[in-house]
Amino acid sequence: MEKQEWVKRIREEVHKQEGTVNSDPYRQAYHLMAPVGLINDPNGLIKWGEDYHLFFQWSPFKTGHGTKVWGHYHTKDFVHYTLEEPALVPSEWYDKDGCFSGSAIEEQGMLHLFYTGHTEENGEILEEYQASAVSEDGRTFRKQEMLLERPEGITPHFRDPKVWKEGQRWYMVVGAQTEEKRGAVLLYESSDLKQWSYVKRLAEALQEEGYMWECPDFFRLDGLDILMFSPQGIAPDDISFQNTYQAGYVIGRQKGAQWERGDFRELDRGFEFYAPQTFEADGRRLMIGWMGVPDQYEEAHPTLQNQWIHSWTLPRELAWNGERIVQTPIAETKAWRTSELPVSRTETIENDQREVEDINGRVMEVAIDFEQIGDMWAVEMFHEASLSYKKSRNLLTLSRPHPEDAEQTQFRHVQLDKPLKSLHMFFDHSSLEVFVNDGEEVFTSRIFADAALTDLAFTSLGASTFHVKKWDLAPVEIESELS
Ligand code: FRU
């Protein structure tokens, strides 16, 4: 199908369905979603000129995965967004079944996209190629004659190029599967962005580390080499690796010709977090993730009936604290607050459960600082989900009804290194992000609570004293070129 035809049909679909999507009480206020259909990975995140360009994996005609296009938002401030026409749609033999994930860079004033051309036969993956497109105006993209085929020893699972520059050279990492069915990250280099040479497998899964590594990202943080990726096939281990697929990172170091790395660590402890991508802007390392996990309860989302599914996380800034990556909401999120001053309360609860005056709402930011914590402290949210802390084990647990069977409760835990001292929580109509102890741990999850409920109930066994602040948050504004 020609690009024009794709855009015309997508426009029609948006027209037809956006009223339905927007009427859904679970529609997010300040988290980006697709205007209709399915959103997954953040792609091509970049600050180009004054604008942050945020592309997204988008399945516009259905609420399932399938043939993907690159949707396209841009913003100067993370408050006012423009939704452009899709940047990339299948149009060539090598991307006929989808323009899959990838990244963006700037070179000589031009915006370059690198993406995966996905092809299938009878519903099975046939081949994947790394391809590129370029734009002068940041709105229309011209596909280039660059095509990378998988190297020897790699199966057709070969995708998600992330490109960056170091000195005068360009580098690319690609997610892959080896013929031994292990996840791997492949490294390429180039001097002109057209001719790429395969360097080596930068990293490869050990026995227990999964059969496919998706969405690799490579960057420096505080002088350290970080390789981030989303592995598939890691088995649950006690409280770790509980989701169907994971997202996390390893720290590495160049030793002679070898790049040596440490253990894989998870980036998030919640139910929905996958395929994060980072980029550098204004001296900051920013990251957005997909608030979803492939093949995990996707059919049970209540939003399917309103023709949409999934959203992104809020944009976060990464830092290294000497031990781990810490994540904090970017400073721009403060502009979402509807008032400068929060509602502020100090509360002591002892062997009791109760609400705290005026600390309620649905689209809000809640910051809690603990002065003392009893044996157990918990907050129950909208009679649906609960976050509880068990002091003797330093264990923080998020629970919610199982999406496929509301009679059952499911749990995600993290064992904190240090006692709980603060929680920074972002609630949207159907999600929760909790930044624990200044972002040392994060829980990212969807929550489909009754839309009419706004109450938080706090519990303490023993005596807990905490300071709590609340801001209501306003929806971001989206000007749509597709409406
Ligand atoms: C990760 C992923 C990528 C792929 C894309 C397709 O969620 O599977 O590996 O490029 O989604 O939408």
pLDDT, tens digit, for every residue of 396-411? Answer: 999 999 999 999 999 9
Note whether 189 and 196 are within 8 A (CB). Answer: yes
- Distance of CA 101 from the midpoint of ligand 1 (Å): 6
Largest CA distance in the chain: 68
What pLDDT is stored for residue 76 in this prediction? 98
The CATH number of domain 3-331, selected from 2.115.10.20, 3.90.330.10, 3.40.50.300, 2.40.170.20: 2.115.10.20
**pLDDT given at position 227:** 98
Q: What is the DSSP string of 118-181?
A: EEEETTEEEEEEEEEEEESSSS--EEEEEEEPPPTTEEEEEEEEEEEEETTEEEEEEEEEETTS
Q: Please report the pLDDT score of residue 278 as a whole number.
A: 98
160 Cβ inside 6 Å of ligand 1: yes
Ligand 1: which of 116, 215, 291, 313 to mutate, most ligand atoms within 8 Å of CB? Answer: 215
User: Residue 391: its pLDDT value, please?
Assistant: 98
Question: Per-residue pLDDT averaged across 367-396, rounded?
Answer: 98
Task: Check pLDDT > 90 for residue 146.
Answer: no
In DSSP terms, 277 is beta-bridged to 288
Our answer on whether the CB atom of 130 is closer than 6 Å to any ligand 1 atom is: no
Scored b (16 or more CB within 10 A) or e, 231-258 reads: bbbbeeeeebbbbebbbbbbbbeeeeee
CA 369, CA 208: separation in Å to the nearest integer? 38
User: For ligand 1, what atom is nearest to the CA of residue 59?
Assistant: 12
Determine the number of helices (DSSP H) and then strands (DSSP E) in the chain: 1, 33
Query: 337-478 — its CATH code?
Result: 2.60.120.560
Residue 251 pLDDT class (50, 70, 90 cuts): very high
Q: Collect all residues with Cβ–Cβ distance below 8 Å to 334 and sequence separation of at least 6.
A: none
* CB neighbourhood size of 187 (10 A): 18
What per-residue confidence (pLDDT) applies to 59?
Answer: 98
pLDDT band at 420 (very low <50, low <70, confident <90, very high): very high
Residue 119 Cα to ligand 1 middle (Å):
13
Residue 317 is predicted with a pLDDT of 98
Q: Does the global pTM surpass 0.85? A: yes
**Does 41 qualify as catalytic in the annotation?**
yes
DSSP string, 424-453: EEEEETTEEEEEETTTTEEEEEE----TT-
Q: Where are the domains of the chain?
A: 3-331, 337-478
Q: Whose CA is nearest to atom 6 of ligand 1?
A: 100
Backbone torsions φ then ψ of 29, nearest 5 degrees: -95, -45
pLDDT confidence band for 239 (50 / 70 / 90): very high
Closest CA to ligand 1's atom 9: 214
Distance 195 CA to ligand 1 centre (A): 25
How many angstroms is it from 214 CA to the middle of ligand 1?
Answer: 7
State if residue 57 touches ligand 1 by the CB under 6 angstroms criterion.
yes
Q: Do domains 3-331 and 337-478 have the same CATH topology?
A: no
If one residue of 38, 56, 57 were mutated to test the ligand 1 pocket, choosing by the most ligand atoms within 8 A of its CB, it would be: 57
Contact indicator for 427, 436 with CB cutoff of 8 Å: no
Task: Please report the sign of the dihedral spanned by the C-alpha atoms of residue 329, residue 333, residue 334, residue 336.
Answer: negative
With bands split at pLDDT 50, 70 and 90, how would you rate the model's confidence at 257? confident
| Ligand 1 near 63 CB (within 6 A) | no
Residue nearest to atom 8 of ligand 1 (CA): 214
State the distance from the centre of ligand 1 to the C-alpha of 58, rounded, in angstroms: 10
310 lines ligand 1 (CB under 6 A): no
| Residue 236 scores a pLDDT above 90 | yes
- The per-residue pLDDT of the chain, averaged, comes to 97
CB distance 215 to ligand 1 below 6 Å: yes
Does position 276 have pLDDT exceeding 90, yes or no? yes
Q: How confident is the model at residue 145 (pLDDT cuts 50, 70, 90)?
A: confident
Residue whose token pair is 């998600």: 160
Query: Other CB atoms closer than 10 Å to residue 11's CB: what's the count?
Result: 17
CA of 171 to the centre of ligand 1 (A): 21
24, 41, 375, 428: which one is catalytic?
A: 41
Q: Is the CB of 177 under 6 A from ligand 1?
A: no
